Amino acid sequence: MTAAPTSARVVLITGAGGGLGQGLISEFAARGWQVAAASHRPAAQPETDAVWPLTLEVTNRAQVSATVEQILTRWGRLDALINNAGVTADGLLMQMDAADFSRVLDVNLKGAFLCAQAVIRPMMKQRDGHIINLASFAARSGAAGQCNYAAAKAGLIGLTTSLAKEVGSRNVRVNTILPGVLPTPMTAQLNEETLHAFTTANALGRLNEVAEVARFIVFLAEMKNVSGQLFQLDSRVAPWT
């Protein structure tokens, strides 16, 4: 049985165990949202009145569908999906294992597709909802050693613009965020030279912050008249194309 809808808005965040995921959980909860925090590993954080930790493998269609049903059963609504789950498996294309190529596309792109597909029907039924996909500057500029990652993130941009046209008539918005290089466990493994290169590529000479990106995403999730758009949140300047 589906619960009576809560008065608070409800968000599903994938990749909730990562650095940006944790920032998103904190910011959405602070803004009064009910948060379904989904990670592919068992969540370390405790359940609270506002945050419900869930284990989810985004590449598994059955798990994705079951998770969405659980959210609807618990809270009676789903107002936003943040497709934040992502992995990397860097290497030059001529040496890249096919399994690494497939895994990166499966998590970053297919996972977003499966999650979006699962939430579309309830969002269209309630005639309100917002899907926000986390892509990467690599999708715009390319990145040596990241053909798989750049391809997956570029695919997310295409998914965003196409899906926005499909569901806009039911007041469902779809947008993409390029968060920039953030101080998270994923980037902690980068060497000093690489981090310096990322820093100097920014016109402001500094990298972005998790808290600022999280604030922007929550702000965007609450907007009603923006869809099919790409928002870059650092100061790297890409050529017009």
Task: Write the DSSP string, 134-198.
Answer: E--THHHH--TT-HHHHHHHHHHHHHHHHHHHHHGGGTEEEEEEE--S-SSHHHHTS-HHHHHHH
Instruction: Give the integer Cα–Cα distance in Å for 31 and 227.
Output: 21
- Token code pair at residue 99: 């399994």
Active-site residue identified among 75, 113, 149, 198:
149
Residue 160: CB atoms within 10 A of its CB come to 24
Q: What are phi and psi of 63, to 5 degrees?
A: -65, -40
Sign of CA dihedral 57, 146, 24, 194: positive
Q: Is 149 a catalytic residue?
A: yes
The three state secondary structure string of 4-29 is CCCCCCEEEECCCCCHHHHHHHHHHH
Known catalytic residues? 149
